[in-house]
Structure 1
Amino acid sequence: MVYLTRRVTFSAAHRLWSNHLTEEENYRIYDKCANGNGHGHNYVLEVTVCGEPNEHTGMVINLTDLKRITNEQVVNWVDHKHLNYDVPWLEGVIPTAEMLAIKFWERLERGFPEGLLYEVKLHETENNIATYHGDRESVSKAGQV
């Protein structure tokens, strides 16, 4: 099995706020990330696919296709946007790194051949990274005793 990763960057703003919490709770939990006008990040998104290289091309997927799918499904939607207001498929989502990784997976999964997408890793900052493996996580956890 070969794992192939495409790394892209984008800039976006967001506000962490839950309508299920009081104003006091939001500021206690999200701290400065609850700022009313939001704040921004220069995100790094890593999209990893896995498979066996094609015997005729030597590729798991053409890198041009990996780039195109990543841009069409995610980056073109979120780059230089306010994630709370400008991205229809994030409506109602608290745009934490964790939730963004899940939502990005859902978008990317639609663009790749079934079973090819392996991992979505979102670097919100140099120190904060969320990784998601889709249904594979629930399958592996279900098999644990």
Structure 2
Amino acid sequence: MNNRLMSITKVFTFDSAHHLYEYEGKCKYIHGHTYKLEVTLKGPVNKNGFVIDFHDLKRIINDEVISVVDHRYLNEIFEFNPTCELLGFWIWDKIDASIKGEEYFLEKVVLWETPTSFITIDRKDMV
């Protein structure tokens, strides 16, 4: 259509348990969260009127992220301390690698660990 770019965002939830290593506080014990994940892609609008079909984005996130972490004990999956911050980097890397070569790109990931606590990763931060 033209060379203007647009951002699209889809929101997901998943439930996981974890505990934090070398942490003095309640989170050193196993506990769970209902995480909320916001994924934003940016790109040109194609001839069909999409940056990416939301159905296709849902499939990518389910295949690359949700299927790995939903209803799982994160300490059994990852070699890193499963903080919200490090989980966010892992999510970024999984999504970014899965869409390489497309016209659109990963612009932002927001991962909510609780209704009042979240991390944000923007493309400009990933240098």
1:68 aligns with 2:62: no
Point out where structure 1 has 5 or more consecutive residues left out of the alignment: 19-25, 140-145
RMSD (Å), alpha carbons: 1.4
Q: Deviations over 1:85-139 (max 9, x none)?
A: 1x2xx2x2111111111010011112113461111110000111011125x3154
Q: Which runs of 4+ in 1 moved over 2 A?
A: none
Deviation at 1:64, TM superposition (A): 1.2
What amino acid is aligned across from residue 17 of structure 1 in structure 2?
Y
What amino acid is aligned across from residue 36 of structure 2 in structure 1?
V
Give the match for residue 124 of structure 1: 113
Pair member with larger Rg: 1
Equivalent of 1:33 in 24, 27, 46: 27
Task: Report SS of the residue matched to 1:16.
Answer: coil
d(CA) in 2 for partners of 1:98, 1:16 = 12
Relative to the length of structure 2, the TM-score reads 0.89
Point out where structure 2 has 5 or more consecutive residues left out of the alignment: none
d(CA) in 1 for partners of 2:82, 2:110 = 15
Deviation at 1:80, TM superposition (A): 0.2
Decide which structure has greater strand share. 2
Relative to the length of structure 1, the TM-score reads 0.78
Give the match for residue 106 of structure 1: 93
Give the match for residue 4 of structure 1: 8
